């Protein structure tokens, strides 16, 4: 079953809208590309793995949190060029929300990931009232580290989780004396193929 896509965020060149099952082919075209997936612990995904992730985003993240990864549409062309958004994690016992970005190779180097990520940060700290955001990045993924820096994050620490080692960049602070929005709604930790970022 599919639902009508909903625009969540609009920037100068991008629309971030809710993913639907109709996006499966466009998403799979990205996830099957080894260059796009170079720094993901899971590597490329199969069609079935992409479908499983898409179902998880729509049926769990959107329902549980009201946010997740969103289809990223290039306004000048109308093309589906990636998926960017927010992912929940529990790291060292703390609830964390990651800013995640992944774009089609053809659209790299135009500042589009930075444009999306900046808007996601504003949305998270604004309407969603989150107080802290992170990025989990492979130590060799310089482009992603640069995007994290450009949106105002700084390197905090190196971590190792069940997906392997990563650099944790962050901005903001954990809410004092109260659980944040993610905690109040409960955290799902997905052990499947939702990517690290
Ligand atoms: C990471 C990614 C989203 C960046 O997208 P993008 O639209 O090209 O990023 P932007 O153009 O907004 O900015 C990239 C920045 O990184 C820099 N950069 C790019 N490649 C780099 C490299 N190999 N080494 C150092 N810096 C690099 C760019 O110069 C730019 O910085 P600048 O504006 O100071 O010059 C894109 O490469 C991608 O989709 N990669 C595959 C998925 C992925 O790895 N996602 C992140 C997982 S943590």
Ligand 1 midpoint to CA 194 (Å):
20
39 lines ligand 1 (CB under 6 A): yes
Asked whether 157 lines ligand 1 (CB < 6 A), one says no
- Domains in the chain: how many in total? 1
CB-based burial, 103-122: b 16+ in 10 Å, e otherwise: bbeebeeeebbbbbbbbbbe
Q: pLDDT band for 42, please (50, 70, 90 cuts).
A: very high
Confirm whether 29 is domain-assigned: yes
State the distance from the centre of ligand 1 to the C-alpha of 18, rounded, in angstroms.
23
Number of helices followed by number of strands (H, E) in the chain: 6, 8
The length of the chain in residues reads: 197
Report CA(143)–ligand 1 centroid distance (Å). Answer: 3
Task: Please indicate, yes or no, if residue 193 is contained in any of the structural domains.
Answer: no
Which pTM does this prediction carry?
Answer: 0.91
Residue 140 lies in a domain: yes
| Ligand 1 atom at minimum distance from 112 CA | 7
Q: pLDDT, tens digit, for every residue of 98-149? A: 999 999 999 999 999 999 999 999 999 999 999 999 999 999 999 999 999 9
Residue 81 forms part of a structural domain: yes
Task: Please say whether the beta carbons of 82 and 70 come within 8 A.
Answer: no
Q: Which domain holds residue 132?
A: 7-185
């Amino acid at each position: 079953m599919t639902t009508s896509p909903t625009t969540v965020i609009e920037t100068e060149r991008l629309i971030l809208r809710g993913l639907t099952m109709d996006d499966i082919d466009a998403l799979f075209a990205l996830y099957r590309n080894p260059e796009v997936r170079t720094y993901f612990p899971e590597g490329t995904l199969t069609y079935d793995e992409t479908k499983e992730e898409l179902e998880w985003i729509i049926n769990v993240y959107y329902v549980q949190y009201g946010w997740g990864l969103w289809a990223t549409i290039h306004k000048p062309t109308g093309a589906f060029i990636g998926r960017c958004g927010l992912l929940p994690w529990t790291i060292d016992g703390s609830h964390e929300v990651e800013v995640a970005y992944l774009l089609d190779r053809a659209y790299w180097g135009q500042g589009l990931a930075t444009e999306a990520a900046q808007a996601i940060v504003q949305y998270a700290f604004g309407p969603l009232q989150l107080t802290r955001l992170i990025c989990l990045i492979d130590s060799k993924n310089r482009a992603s580290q640069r995007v994290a820096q450009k949106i105002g994050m700084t390197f905090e620490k190196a971590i190792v989780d069940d997906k392997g080692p990563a650099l944790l960049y962050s901005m903001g602070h954990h809410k004092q004396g109260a659980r944040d929005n993610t905690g109040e709604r409960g955290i799902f930790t997905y052990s499947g193929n939702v990517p690290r970022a």
